[in-house]
Amino acid sequence: MNAARPLLRRRPIRAAHLPDSVPPLLQRIYAARGVTSADGLARDLGALADYRPLGGIEAAVELLERALRERWHITLVGDYDADGATSTALAVEVLRACGAATVDYLVPNRFTQGYGLSAELVGQARARGAQLLITVDNGVAAHAGVRAAQAAGMAVLVTDHHLPGATLPPADAMVNPNLATDGFPSKALAGVGVIFYVLSALRARLRVAGWFAERGLAEPKLAELLDLVAVGTVADVVALDGNNRILVEQGLRRIRAGRARPGLRALLRVAGRDPARLVATDLGFAIGPRLNAAGRLDDMALGIECLLARDEARALELAQRLDALNRERRELEQGMREQAMASVEAALARLGGTALPDGLCLFDPQWHEGVVGLVAGRLKERFHRPAAVFAPGEDGQLKGSVRSVPGVHVRDVLADIAARQPDLVRRFGGHAMAAGLTLDPARLDAFADEFAATVTRYADAEALQPVLWSDGELAPDELDLNSAEMLRAGGPWGQGFPEPLFDGVFAVHSAREVGQGHLKLVLRDPRVGTLHDAIAFNYAELGLAPDAGEARFAFRLDVNDYRGERRAQLLVQGYDLALA
């Protein structure tokens, strides 16, 4: 069964006043993304937003300075994804460099403890002797955990970027750019970005106080840790606004220059990526999944220790273990995805060929809760509608993950359901595009009906119609390696600042299947007769056949580096499209 063919639309181009040094093709692409002046092109550290407008930053720094001066035992409470792992590693490195007496970390077990700072995790921290708990990439909803920590005599600093609920936990200090009263200009910081800013403010406070000079300590060079910030930012799929593009670009520059930390170098090695040619998407597709595999199938401490490793051999050993977990994760995901697709096909058959529900909801007792988010993402991409996928949890409850489409704020959907039917959803939290939740098994069918109905109410007229946004056609002389290299260097591209996509009419000159379901193509440009290498991944889902003829294609222009020979290559994203 194929999903609906996407509409093809071209991005409107705004008037721009960019420097003449920016090539015309990039000027057009930047303007279509709202960058209309030289200010939007800044990628140097000096252009980063100042930390001072961040709400709660002064209270956070005062608490951290007190903890350092009084030699408190500090415990980081992380999250079991790549953002949480990089946030934890960053905080451990900087606090130790600042001379903290004791710094360690805890990450909840996804399967037995669930997400974030819980009362159970507080008990573990207390047993270690923790006096200050610092949450990274979590905590804004940890009411019970914060109260339990304070009742046990611990102070709590919450650093998070998730959307807050109606009330906030009574932390001693809290930094989150998404709080209603926060004046920080970038609301898109990942968790690692938030703790980076907190630690930057701490370093500034300690410098003024003479802390480093008095103790003979070298000031931590936070720029040297931007490789971690880049990985966490890209892997968490937050919007790459101007501030995040600076953080990611600076981290990429460090990695390309061979100055990445041993753990990241080892992860790139096992992934077969050349650090010198790294782009932002490599962080999301090569490093992120390997770190996430630890939290999905094992213990995220494995990923954090890889990031903290100083010894090259140790880093490689840990990276190889993460790579093996990622292969296991892929096998699990493939089986679950095939079962999920079959379930959707069966549902469509039961409906007599009519449209699918606006919100998909699937469960199988054999599925693995660590992989449900990936399967939900695949379903969302294939059928372009929010998808909730559930697996059995350790406590007898169903653990679910939801992925959404632009135009449907999935956390608001869940909040709406929970407000109208308080007994339906036990726990939930997340973002506009992704959320997690827990259900009683007996309530699954009721939730499925309510989820589909609520998505219908929240979805605008075109939210459930897939759309490919094109940057227009490329001239024949732009379909070359120089343009492909320029586009790679013009990023970083990512969420909220999408990689350029083009469209054009081509004839299929030749085609052969490669790998599992991919099509290697040679396309002929009918305007001038030139031939271009292309590849279509999962070509059947695009409605593309090996004997296809002339049609309008949507594609990205990329560089294919095969056996040392670099050539331009078209990455096909859509086939036989009509401009809408």
pLDDT tens per residue across span 501-549: 999 999 999 999 998 889 999 999 999 999 999 999 989 888 899 888 8
DSSP structural state of residue 190: -
170 and 302 housed in the same domain: yes
Q: How many structural domains compose the chain? A: 3
Looking at residue 1, what is its pLDDT?
Answer: 43
23 and 81 housed in the same domain: no
CA 120, CA 96: separation in Å to the nearest integer? 26
Q: What is the CATH number of the domain that holds 18?
A: 2.40.50.460
The token duo for 447 is: 């939730």
CA 265, CA 150: separation in Å to the nearest integer? 40
159 and 187 housed in the same domain: yes
Out of 430, 458, 486, a domain closes at 458
Q: What is the CATH number of the domain that holds 299?
A: 3.90.1640.30
For 120, 331, 385, 404, 437, the CA distances from 409, given in Å and listed in that order, are 31, 30, 12, 7, 15
Helix (H) or strand (E) holding 316: helix 312-350
Looking at residue 13, what is its pLDDT?
Answer: 83
423 and 505 housed in the same domain: no
CA 373 to chain centre: 12
Tell me, yes or no, whether 422 lies in a domain: yes
Q: What is the dihedral of CA 440, 446, 452, 457, to 10 degrees?
A: -110
Question: CA 17, 20, 21, 23 torsion: positive or negative?
Answer: positive
For 445, 478, 518, 557, the CA distances from 535, given in Å and listed in that order, are 41, 18, 7, 11
**Three-state SS at 480:** coil
C-beta of residue 512 within 8 angstroms of C-beta of residue 544: no
SS3 per-residue string spanning 45-110? HHHCCCCCCCCCHHHHHHHHHHHHHCCCEEEEECCCCHHHHHHHHHHHHHHHHCCCCEEEEECCCC
Angle at alpha carbon of residue 576, lines to 572 and 577, rounded to 5°: 90
CA 103, CA 131: separation in Å to the nearest integer? 11
Tell me, yes or no, whether 563 lies in a domain: yes
281 and 318 housed in the same domain: yes
Looking at residue 3, what is its pLDDT?
Answer: 58
282 and 398 housed in the same domain: no
CA 498, CA 469: separation in Å to the nearest integer? 9
Range of the structural domain that residue 19 is part of: 7-38+467-575
Tell me, yes or no, whether 344 lies in a domain: no
Looking at residue 351, what is its pLDDT?
Answer: 59
Out of 399, 434, 458, a domain closes at 458
CA 469, CA 99: separation in Å to the nearest integer? 50
For 327, 355, 452, 465, 554, the CA distances from 461, given in Å and listed in that order, are 40, 15, 15, 8, 24
The token duo for 51 is: 């930390």
Which one, of 408, 535, 557, 564, lies nearest residue 472 by Cα?
557
Tell me, yes or no, whether 507 lies in a domain: yes
**Which residues is 102 bridged to in the sheet?**
73
483 and 533 housed in the same domain: yes
Looking at residue 473, what is its pLDDT?
Answer: 97
Q: What is the CATH number of the domain that holds 386?
A: 3.10.310.30
Residue-wise pLDDT for 371-382, tens only, equals: 898 899 989 988
DSSP structural state of residue 494: B
Tell me, yes or no, whether 345 lies in a domain: no
184 and 299 housed in the same domain: yes
C-beta of residue 220 within 8 angstroms of C-beta of residue 93: yes
Helix (H) or strand (E) holding 185: none
Q: Report residue 445: phi and psi, to 5°.
A: -65, -40
168 and 195 housed in the same domain: yes
SS3 per-residue string spanning 507-570? EEEEEEEECCCEEEEEEECCCCCCEEEEEECCHHHHCCCCCCCCEEEEEEEEEEEECCEEEEEE
146 and 242 housed in the same domain: yes
Looking at residue 408, what is its pLDDT?
Answer: 94
Looking at residue 39, what is its pLDDT?
Answer: 87
C-beta of residue 17 within 8 angstroms of C-beta of residue 23: no
Question: If 0-12 CB within 10 Å is exposed, 13-18 middle and 19+ buried, where does residue 473 land?
Answer: middle
CA 122, CA 133: separation in Å to the nearest integer? 9
For the chain, list residues with pLDDT below 70: 1-4, 347-354
Q: Which pTM does this prediction carry?
A: 0.91
Give Cβ neighbours of residue 359 (< 8 Å, ≥ 6 apart): 385, 386, 387, 388, 413, 448, 451, 452, 453, 454, 455, 456
- Beta strands per DSSP E along 444-528: 467-470, 502-514, 518-524
Out of 441, 458, 475, a domain closes at 458
CA 243, CA 222: separation in Å to the nearest integer? 16
CA 196, CA 75: separation in Å to the nearest integer? 17
Which one, of 218, 289, 223, 233, lies nearest residue 261 by Cα?
223
**Three-state SS at 140:** coil
Which one, of 407, 456, 450, 453, lies nearest residue 432 by Cα?
407
146 and 181 housed in the same domain: yes
